[in-house]
Amino acid sequence: MSYELYNILGVTPDASEDEIKRAYFKKVRQFPPEKNPEKFKAIRTAYETLINKESRADYDALQKYGGKISKLILEAEDFMSKEDWNEAVKKWKAVLDLLPDNKSVYESLAMCYLMSGDIDKSIELYKKLLKRDSTIPTYWMNLGWAYLIKARENTLDKDEFYKKSEKAFKKVTELEPYNALAYQALATIKQDKQEWEEAVKLLELAVSSDNKLDLHDVFSLFQLCPLYIILDKEKEFKDTLKRIESIVPDDEEVKEIVAFKLVALADELINPASRYKEAYFVLRLASKLLPNNNDIKKAKDEAKTIYKATEELGAFETDAFIIQPFKFLLAASLFEVYHESYDKSAVELALKRLEYYSPWELQESIDRIKEVYPNLYKLNKPFLKELSQFISKEYTEPNQPIERQVTTSNTTSYSNTSSTYSNKSSDWGCGEICGTALCCGIGILIASLLGC
């Protein structure tokens, strides 16, 4: 029924405020709450709506333009769901023409301005809303984000906008001390300013704001992980991963969401930071949540190989039982992984220098790498395996191990030149090459590896 609330109080739509009040008290005496609770409830609702100027104006507009307003709101919400913010703005402005004082319409329009990138208009509307009611946390929260965007876009007034953003977010924590999102937002400001310790404190406040650790804290915990890495706090980083694991319920859908969030975190750690060790721990947890996901398992194993190979490198480079070209080549493979610069022409030279060593020297180094430095071997397995297979095929009889063999040909024997080869770990290329056949054979393989 049109204008039903007026009918409940027994007044006309053009009734004054005093007339509405008199009608209300008359109805209350006629239908007291203790005797007519349902009737009294309807009377109270009608009175509270009509006595307030804003809610009365909205109600009158809905009675007059109800169908048109409903259609515009549905269209606006549809555009918002499609993230077509500019079209949504047009629809909400049309609604605002019919409901000029409606706070929810103002709020929706302000949000669409914010999402469309029209930050100044968004700030203007949120400030108007806060003048009408400064106790709404959502208004302060969105105003804070609008100022934060301005701070990131501006160079001259950056500090001023950061201050305004921080003030807005702090107001949210005053109104709702349990609001984790506000602490996360404040931490974001500190991260922008590279104030890592302060950001950590705020995120820990976000986690503890409701006095319990649950799935709602997962985003704060994810935000904490890279900060503990930056601060070189490995224990706290690992503890944070344990906290994430502890709050994931036994629900496959939730496990999948958290696991892929972990994968995204690992990707951020690897590209461009090359933090393979930390990425391995992150991917290990992701693999634990989704044990049947082969892609995650493969990524975890690759990260582990790289970080373990990095740990092996120090001892490897000083190992006297490994010839010098291998040291450079395997180190270069890690430089490549970590996107570090190195002399690529030196790689070709190192490959060519392998020709200066006897098969048993090459094989002894390969065997030692495989046994003592398994991750460096794994990282370079295709190259080392191909070289080892070539040596085995070309320089040994079937079922005969590679040893220092004495040749019966006219070429110099390995045993006669062993002292020459034993010095090669510190001096690439000095001395005689052991036999024309050896030189040609290894040379052909090296040429193929170089693509010659």
- Residues with Cβ within 8 Å of 49's Cβ and at least 6 positions away in sequence, in order, are 5, 55, 56, 59
Q: Using CA atoms, how far apart are residues 239 and 224, in angstroms rounded to an integer?
A: 11
- The residues spanned by each domain of the chain are 4-51, 83-308, 319-450
Tokens 């052991």, located at residue: 434
| CATH fold match for the domains 4-51 and 83-308 | no
Q: Using CA atoms, how far apart are residues 443 and 322, in angstroms rounded to an integer?
A: 20
Angle between the N-to-C axes of helices 180-192 and 137-153, in degrees from 0 to 180, rounded to the nearest 10: 10
* pLDDT tier, 320 (very low <50, low <70, confident <90, very high otherwise): very high
Mean pLDDT of 322-326: 94
What is the CB neighbour count within 10 angstroms for residue 142? 22
Structure confidence by residue, pLDDT tens digits, 34-63: 888 888 899 988 999 899 888 888 788 878
Average pLDDT, the chain: 86
| Span of 220-224, 307-311, 418-422, 447-451 with lowest mean pLDDT | 418-422
Query: Angle CA(326)–CA(330)–CA(333) in degrees, nearest 5?
Result: 145
Q: Which helix (H) or strand (E) holds 159?
A: helix 158-175
Tell which residue, 296, 229, 309, has the closest CA to residue 260: 296
At residue 251, does pLDDT exceed 70? yes
At residue 429, does pLDDT exceed 60? no
| Span of 207-216, 346-355, 410-419, 438-447 with lowest mean pLDDT | 410-419
Q: Are 341 and 335 in contact, with CB atoms under 8 Å apart?
A: yes
* pLDDT tier, 343 (very low <50, low <70, confident <90, very high otherwise): confident
Q: Using CA atoms, how far apart are residues 93 and 88, in angstroms rounded to an integer?
A: 9
Distance of alpha carbon 221 from its chain centroid, rounded? 11
* Residues recorded for the chain: 452
Mean pLDDT of 226-240: 97
Pair of tokens at residue 254: 């939730």
Angle between the N-to-C axes of helices 276-289 and 294-317, in degrees from 0 to 180, rounded to the nearest 10: 150
Pair of tokens at residue 220: 């704060």
At residue 427, does pLDDT exceed 80? no
pLDDT attached to residue 396: 57
At residue 139, does pLDDT exceed 70? yes
83-308 folds as 1.25.40
Q: Using CA atoms, how far apart are residues 239 and 246, in angstroms rounded to an integer?
A: 10
pLDDT attached to residue 395: 65
Query: Percent of the chain beyond pLDDT 90?
Result: 65
Query: Percent of the chain beyond pLDDT 70?
Result: 87
Mean pLDDT of 147-154: 94
4-51 folds as Helix Hairpins (1.10.287)
Exposure class string for 88-127: b at 16+ Cβ within 10 A, else e: bbebbebbbebbeebbebbbbbbbbbbebebbebbbebbe
Q: What separation in angstroms does the CA of 168 have from each of 87, 174, 196?
A: 28, 10, 21
What is the CB neighbour count within 10 angstroms for residue 171? 20
